[in-house]
Structure 1
Amino acid sequence: MFRKYPEMKTLFKLIPSDKKGRKWDATSGEILPETAPLHFLPLEDLVFTEKIDGTNMGIRISDGVVTHIQKREHICSREDNSDMFYFEVGDEISRKIENKGIEQLKDVIIYGELCGPKIQKGGNYFEDRKFIVFDIFDVNTDRFFTWDAVTHFANELELDSVPEVTYDKPDLKVENVKEFILAQKSVYNKEFGAEGVVIRHRKDTLPHRRWMAKIRKKDFK
């Protein structure tokens, strides 16, 4: 079963930019209907995580065994040498699930970013390639795990989950978000500007129309 990760909307509507060389801009602060709930929820109910610049990857586990590895748009092949590292990551995860007897992960899709040298700008994060978990989908219940469950099971698997960041502004008004984003540095490398943030409701499990949004530096600059 190939299940593409839901398309993530932006926190603000992107409008055509009047600046040369820029296609879009978010500084109007217009709220999108799809992500509007985030603007009206208490900040303490939201989780802010660094948006990692890597390759989107999903690991399908069925009965504790890797049935396929997927990128954003297609399933990888074990016969393709360029995909070999994806399967090394997936097989290691399935071994840990089996060895630790983690029943909750026997039928899931574990989504994450593969980053490191030669993967997007991932060489700015680590010297070696690494898989960083950002979500887990329960195939049996047709729901995503809550954020706290994602971090718990990533820890059980001895994997990083995308790092939480402290949002130090009083609200999600566009001027506050812009100031925060433009000053943001990567948790993994303080010399490297973070790509942006992902904002989600801590207890959201919906398979569609999720209470989740992204906002990137390049949406403002």
Structure 2
Amino acid sequence: MNCLCGWPIKRLRKMPAREGKRGNMGDTGDDYKAMKEHSQKKRANNREGSAEMLTEAGIEYESKNNGAHLIVDTIKYPKIQTLWKRDKDNKFCIMPGEYSDEIYSQIPTWHVTEKIDGMNMRIGKSIEYPAGGYIRGRTDKADIPGDLHNHCFGLTSPMGDRFKEIFPDSEDAPICLYGEGYGAGIQKGGGYSADKRFILFDVRVGDWWLDQDDVRDVAEKLGCPYVPSFGIMTTDRIVRLVQERHVTCVDANPCDEKIMEGIVARSYPQLFDKFGNRVMWKLKVKDYVALEAK
């Protein structure tokens, strides 16, 4: 009986390997095993190194498959460091004079805006959201109150047309408006407004962050407020401003004299670190309250 190739089936029986062949196969197997172990170790080191680089750069990521895949959300607003280091034994206490990043000590002037105590919001368009745009919190899973969502929708509807009007030269570049949802029912926002609202503080078009003057212009075109600006200041003056505990400058018929949460300082002119991130920091009033109570 023959197989399809014409060889008798009995000729296909496994023949005993020669002594020399056995030895060569054993060496090859050992080499393959060593190469596989080296490759696994290298991948593990790469995973650890990549995670450390992202952490050092202040970039948030999601680790999947035991670190084999690191997912970076480029639309999410980057976290902002506090100006000062924090006490290792008490993370609620800052250490004035000890910069959390030495680059802060080398920049003389900063553009300063009020930090709003609310819910981080994103309004934008990209090919990932073909329906015309999106309204999201800090993450896609964030639960946005219905009246806040409706308020944001009213600012940008119809979303596709509004973005074309405001950014006529952006073509297909992704656009993201970053702001804060604030007002009664969000954090302790009743002191800002009895209603939920959106206030703009940053805009990103493609890979570029707009200057704050341009962000203010976008807010005017949208018909929404821009975060209160304190102008250009030195670090020492900013620290005094926060220590003085001023009432919020958000003009939304405040229900009481709400003390501002703090400030956000962006380098002026706009500078970037070695990772391509903007040089900026924050400072909160409660940091100094905690320091005094220590």
Question: Aligned pair 1:109/2:176, yes or no?
Answer: yes
Structure 1: distance between partners of 2:195 and 2:170: 26
One-letter identity of the residue aligned with 1:15: D
| Higher Cα radius of gyration | 2
Provide the secondary structure at the position in 1 that maps to 2:158.
helix
Contact 1:136 1:150 in 2 (8 A): yes
| Matching residue of 1:31 | 99
Provide the secondary structure at the position in 1 that maps to 2:120.
strand
Provide the secondary structure at the position in 1 that maps to 2:200.
strand
Q: 1:95 aligns with which of 158, 163, 184?
A: 158
Structure 2: distance between partners of 1:66 and 1:205: 32
| Matching residue of 1:185 | 247
Moved more, 24-33 or 47-56: 24-33
TM-score, normalised relative to structure 2:
0.60
| Number of residue pairs aligned between Structure 1 and Structure 2 | 204
Task: Give the 3 Å change call, closer, same or farther, for CA 104–199 of structure 1 in structure 2.
Answer: farther
Provide the secondary structure at the position in 2 that maps to 1:180.
helix
Provide the secondary structure at the position in 2 that maps to 1:14.
strand
One-letter identity of the residue aligned with 1:198: V
Q: 1:150 aligns with which of 215, 219, 236?
A: 215
Encode CA deviations 1:59-106: one digit per residue, 9 max, x unaligned.
1224896432221132468xx8x4463254135314377268221577
Task: Give the 3 Å change call, closer, same or farther, for CA 27–166 of structure 1 in structure 2.
Answer: farther
| Matching residue of 2:280 | 212
| Matching residue of 2:202 | 135
Identity %: 28
What value does the CA root-mean-square deviation take over the aligned residues? 3.1
Structure 1: distance between partners of 2:135 and 2:141: 6
Task: Give the 3 Å change call, closer, same or farther, for CA 147–203 of structure 1 in structure 2.
Answer: farther
Contact 1:133 1:154 in 2 (8 A): yes
Equivalent positions of 1:31-70 (< 5 A) are 31-33=99-101, 36-43=102-109, 46-62=110-126, 66-70=132-136
Q: CA deviation at 1:55?
A: 0.2
Contact 2:183 2:191 in 1 (8 A): yes
Structure having the larger proportion of residues in helix: 2
Give unpaired runs (5+ residues) of structure 2: 1-72, 290-294
Task: Give the 3 Å change call, closer, same or farther, for CA 177–91 of structure 1 in structure 2.
Answer: closer
Task: Give the 3 Å change call, closer, same or farther, for CA 181–88 of structure 1 in structure 2.
Answer: closer
| Matching residue of 1:73 | 139
TM-score, normalised relative to structure 1:
0.77
| Matching residue of 2:69 | none
